[in-house]
Structure 1
Amino acid sequence: MSASTEHLRRRVAGARVVLWDFDGPICRLFAGHPADHVARAMVDWLAQNGLRGLLREEEIDPSDPHVLLRAVGSRSPESDLIAELEELLTKEELRATASAMPTAYADPLIRTWAAVGARLAVVTNNSPLAVRRYLDSRGLTGCFAPHIYGRTHQLHLLKPDPHSLNRALRAMGSRPEDALMIGDTPTDYDAAVRAGVRFVGYARYPQKEKCLRQAGAETVVTSLEPLLELVRQESSAGRLPG
């Protein structure tokens, strides 16, 4: 067994609870409904409502509308217009679920982990409505329900704040040391560290891996296949709950 595989095995062994980020590890939510179109629609909406001044140019990340939402929310957290902006993003995410692309090996990994006795939760900055719609379409809701913890109107609680992770741990009666998170961004890693949860990064392309490692993530996979194989091996060896 290679050193990297052994490191991954130590992350997986004994994980009674697995916390999943949604967009990235489970699916590519904006695969057919580009995120830059969503970000542009949000900026246009801000301009139409006289709120464009709440956003600096460097805060417009076309690949991640949540960066924009978090930035605006930090400056006007109590505004009804901010709640409307969040609802606009929710509608776009719901629309995106129809063309979302499953992450390779995610479906069998989710089903296998659930089958061997691990408890699964989604902890995400996406709308829980979009998460449920996507999971329903894949027949995966039963692997997670009722543990889906997504975005609320309290935008200051988005990751890297560990709020969604802590909600999941409390609801599932889990100690942080018995849990593992799978995420694909530095904010996922930061939230896991703050919650005291082990972390495995998923990086679909090299820049993602570079960002995760620069943030401090030690264990990063470029495919979920090694995780699937390890879960099967650990279950056969009796080292997973079941």
Structure 2
Amino acid sequence: MTPDTTQTELVAAEADNLRNLIAEARVVLWDFDGPICRLFARHSAEDVADGLVEWLEGQGLHSLLSAEERESLDPHVVLRAVDRRHPGSDLVAELEERLTQEELRAASTAMPTAHADPLIQTWKAIGSRLAIATNNSPLVVRKYLAGRGLISCFAPHIYGRTQELQHLKPDPHCLNQALRAMGVAASAALMIGDTPSDFIAARTAGIPFLGYARNSRKEKLLREAGATSIVASLAPVLTAVRNQA
């Protein structure tokens, strides 16, 4: 067996695995920021996180976050940290609302993920049912999808962040919400996500998982979490779905 043969067989095995994942999925659950669009493509998530930290500091709450949390550059890390220390508080509600407003602003300049729009439309056209399961605000998801003419592909099955932040992924709450509402078993669904928290939530819920990794860093994080089915582009997924039509 030559190295070329080995590579050819590996590619063929990955294609077979992708076809099987798609063939067995009656329902497709999508993460939002990543597989569908880059929400903060032109509206930096790092700046949003910094803004939340600065607001907390302005309230005299600098010590509420650890140094690692303050430097995380991830607004969800900041939000979760505050909720762990003051669950269900007015402080958490205010911080969540501030994040939602930043996400709504970002939705206006979000960058569509390559091949996502036609993949969504094709999957819907062949009779699959689609849902969103995300840590972003559902208001943001609806705004973006409406702007792309995609809202009818998902509505009413859009499950996102509420003020009950303990339910954010990697907790499988929003995935289980979607399964219950759509009346489908976990084994008959497929989750598409781009973060370890997406994978962990899907694994906990018993849902097959397809990782989307737009760069090597994303792929490394997914593989370290345990994901094995990963694509660097949605193009082969679109091809596989079209071949099923």
Q: Per-residue displacement from partner, 1:107-138 (whole Å, max 9, x unpaired)?
A: 00000000001100000000000000000000
**1:70 aligned residue:** 80
Aligned sequence identity (%): 63
Query: Which of 177, 181, 188 in structure 1 is aligned with 2:198?
Result: 188
- 1:128 and 1:50 map into 2 onto residues whose CA distance is 30
| 2:169 match | 159
Residues 47, 73 of structure 2: 8 Å contact kept: no
Alignment correspondent of 1:208: 218
Q: Does 1:35 align with 2:54?
A: no
The amino acid across from 1:160 in the alignment is P
2: CA distance, partners of 1:126 / 1:188: 13
After superposing the two structures, state which structure 1 stretch, 166-175 or 64-73, moved more: 64-73
The TM-score, its normalising length taken from structure 2, stands at: 0.94
Structure 1's consecutive aligned runs of 4 or more residues displaced over 6 angstroms after TM superposition are none
Q: Report if aligned partners of 1:16, 1:178 keep a CA contact under 8 Å in 2.
A: yes
2:7 paired residue number? none
Cα contact 1:185–1:212 (8 A) shared by 2: yes
Deviation at 1:54, TM superposition (A): 1.8
Structure-2 separation of matches of 1:156 and 1:67:
12
TM-score (ref. length: structure 1): 0.95
- Report the Cα distance in structure 1 between the residues aligned to 2:236 and 2:220, rounded to whole angstroms: 19
Give the match for residue 48 of structure 1: 58
Check whether the contact 1:38–1:92 (CA below 8 A) recurs between aligned residues: yes
1:14 aligns with 2:24: yes
Say if 1:17 and 1:65 are closer, same or farther in 2 by CA, change over 3 A: same
| Greater Cα radius of gyration, structure 1 or 2 | 2
Give the distance between the partners of 2:218 and 2:112, measured in 1 at CA: 18
SS of the counterpart of 1:170? Answer: helix
Is the partner of 1:99 in helix, strand or coil?
coil
Structure 1: 5+ residue stretches without partners: 236-242
Q: What residue ranges of structure 2 are gaps of 5+ in the alignment?
A: 1-10
RMSD: 1.1
